[in-house]
Amino acid sequence: METEHFCSGYCRQLDASRMVEVILEDGVLSEADCCYGSCLYQTNCPIARQIEEWTEKGQ
């Protein structure tokens, strides 16, 4: 089942706040409207933390 989520927060790479669309298929990340997975600032990113929470819960 595909689920769509939206989260917002500050993006250090863009130096701006933004809203990101995240699509999970059966609890596995299939698409993120940002550089999640290759971003240099991912360890300190509030958006990445939210994506990780969703994937851990399998939402």
Over residues 2-54, the pLDDT tens digits come to 999 999 999 999 999 999 999 999 989 999 999 999 999 999 999 999 999 99
**Which strands sit side by side in the sheet containing 16-25, from one edge to the other?**
2-11, 16-25, 28-32
Q: Looking at residue 54, what is its pLDDT? A: 93
Report residue 38 as tokens.
């290759």
Locate the domains of the chain by residue range.
2-57
* pTM for the model: 0.85
